[in-house]
């Protein structure tokens, strides 16, 4: 794989896409709704700021206690709150949101040295990556480069993947979510000229493509590699319904991740992979008409299974970008994204002003098997909902 094409390319935005001329996004009613949603989100995140304890990051909301559920900076979702604030500042120019983003980024910066997690793309690129895009400076650049270096320490030549979770000494646990952290590595190669970051991303994506997918392009959640031999010990789930089931958010992570892979490399194998994942998701018999997926495509209590707004938001954002690379399916991908954004904007999914601790969306699912974050707001649902709305706006201008 030649790296020159993206080493010399202009810096990618965390939410940018550089495909062929995009199919026009021209739903005027939706565009009006999006503008209102973004204004509402600015107000909601001010509510969140007021309720957020000192030194903590928002994670979810406990309706029974009527209070935010928070985390420290080490939690994998810590970058979504500042990332959302920066997206909203970019759209609405509200300085309070920007100042809050800068404050919380000061607490997050130390995670650049964290080698105990694979989620530094989520944590640092969704946050500091957006800051660098809006206000590029050397300090932010170095934070991101160090974050990429820390992420690379989890790569193994023997297995060909970046370790997601620490397990037994002989285990190398990798989850499909890890595809979302590769964008940081491509960015690092572009700003440093050091191809080693991108080579790791490519190797991880190729190994994952080989081992993580069923013949119908549904994805396993977890693949456990033998750390000593690189062989596969097992394939299973952690947050899905069953080992062989299609956990909804995992499918969305894969779709988004391979869309990014095509953007960064222009290698058609990644475009084919992304399109095949999209085909599985959109044609599965259990995809609801409103396109807000059940938390698992194979949950036994469908149609009474919980929906996952976070999976829908990630899917919508990914499909909008993918539509710019596939003229044949562009209209369909945009239509699905429009359906998702329209339905997430209704009172069923969108929180009323001043409620839910300032979160934008309700009804996401963290992990039913673990009994955590079930049918609650989640920071990444908000982040990708905002991102998808911004992408739609930008496509309307094209």
- For 66-91, how does the pLDDT look when each residue is reduced to its tens digit (9 = 90+)? 999 999 999 999 999 999 999 999 99
Prediction pTM value = 0.95
At residue 22 the predicted structure's pLDDT band, cuts being 50, 70 and 90, is low
Can 35 be counted among the known catalytic residues? no
pLDDT tens figures, 372-385: 999 999 999 999 99
Region of poorest pLDDT, from 5-14, 141-150, 269-278, 385-394: 5-14
Structural domain span for residue 266: 4-397
Tell me: pLDDT of 8 over 90: no
Total domains in the fold of the chain? 1
367 in a labelled binding site: yes
119 in a labelled binding site: yes
253 in a labelled binding site: yes
Q: Write out the DSSP string of 320-362.
A: HHHHTT-HHHHHHHHHHHHHHHHHHTSTTTBPPTT-GGG-SB-
Q: Among the options 119, 296, 308, 382, which is catalytic? A: 119
Helix (H) or strand (E) holding 298: none
**CATH number of domain containing 258:** 1.50.10.10
177 in a labelled binding site: yes
Can 62 be counted among the known catalytic residues? no
Beta strands per DSSP E along the chain: 57-62, 67-71, 155-156, 161-162, 171-175, 222-226, 232-236, 364-367, 372-376
Give the per-residue pLDDT at 15.
52
Give the per-residue pLDDT at 126.
98
Count Cβ atoms below 10 Å from residue 347 Cβ, excluding itself. 8
Tell me: pLDDT of 114 over 70: yes
245 in a labelled binding site: no
Which residue in the block uniquely carries the two structure tokens 């194998």? 269
pLDDT tens figures, 209-239: 999 999 999 999 999 999 999 999 999 999 9
Residues 6+ apart with CB under 8 A from 272: none
Tell me: pLDDT of 1 over 90: no
- Give the rounded percent of residues in the chain with a pLDDT score beyond 70: 94
Q: Among the options 94, 177, 308, 375, which is catalytic? A: 177
pLDDT tens figures, 130-167: 999 999 999 999 999 999 999 999 999 999 999 999 98
């Amino acid at each position: 794989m030649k790296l020159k094409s993206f080493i010399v390319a202009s810096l990618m935005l965390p939410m940018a896409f550089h495909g062929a001329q995009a199919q026009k996004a021209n739903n005027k009613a939706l565009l009006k709704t999006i503008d209102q949603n973004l204004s509402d989100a600015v107000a909601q995140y001010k509510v969140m700021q007021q309720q957020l304890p000192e030194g903590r990051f928002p994670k979810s909301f406990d309706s029974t206690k009527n209070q935010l559920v928070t985390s420290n900076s080490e939690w994998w979702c810590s970058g979504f709150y500042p990332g959302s604030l920066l997206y909203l500042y970019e759209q609405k120019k509200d300085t309070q949101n920007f100042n809050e983003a800068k404050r919380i980024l000061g607490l997050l910066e130390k995670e650049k040295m964290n080698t105990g997690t694979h989620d530094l793309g989520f944590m640092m690129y969704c946050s500091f990556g957006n800051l660098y895009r809006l206000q590029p400076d050397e300090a932010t650049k170095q934070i991101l480069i160090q974050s990429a270096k820390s992420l690379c320490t989890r790569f193994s030549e023997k297995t060909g993947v970046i370790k997601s979770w620490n397990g037994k000494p002989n285990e190398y646990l990798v989850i499909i979510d890890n595809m979302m952290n590769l964008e940081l590595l491509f960015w690092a190669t572009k700003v440093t000229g050091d191809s080693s970051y991108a080579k790791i991303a490519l190797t991880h994506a190729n190994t994952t493509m080989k081992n993580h997918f069923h013949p119908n392009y549904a994805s396993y959640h977890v693949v456990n590699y033998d750390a000593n031999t690189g062989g596969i010990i097992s394939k299973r789930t952690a947050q899905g319904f069953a080992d062989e089931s299609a956990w909804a958010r995992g499918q969305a992570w894969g779709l988004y991740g391979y869309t990014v892979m095509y953007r960064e490399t222009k290698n058609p194998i990644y475009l084919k992979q992304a399109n095949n994942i999209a085909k599985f998701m959109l044609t599965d018999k259990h995809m609801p008409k409103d396109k807000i997926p059940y938390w698992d495509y194979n949950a036994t209590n469908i149609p009474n299974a919980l929906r996952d707004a976070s999976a829908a938001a990630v899917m919508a954002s990914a499909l909008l970008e993918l539509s710019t690379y596939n003229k044949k399916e562009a209209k369909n991908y945009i239509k699905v994204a429009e359906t998702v954004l329209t339905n997430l904007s209704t009172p069923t999914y969108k929180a009323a002003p001043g409620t839910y601790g300032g979160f934008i969306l309700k009804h996401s699912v963290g992990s039913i098997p673990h009994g955590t974050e079930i049918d609650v707001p989640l920071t990444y649902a908000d982040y990708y909902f905002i991102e998808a709305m911004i992408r739609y706006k930008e496509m309307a201008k094209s």
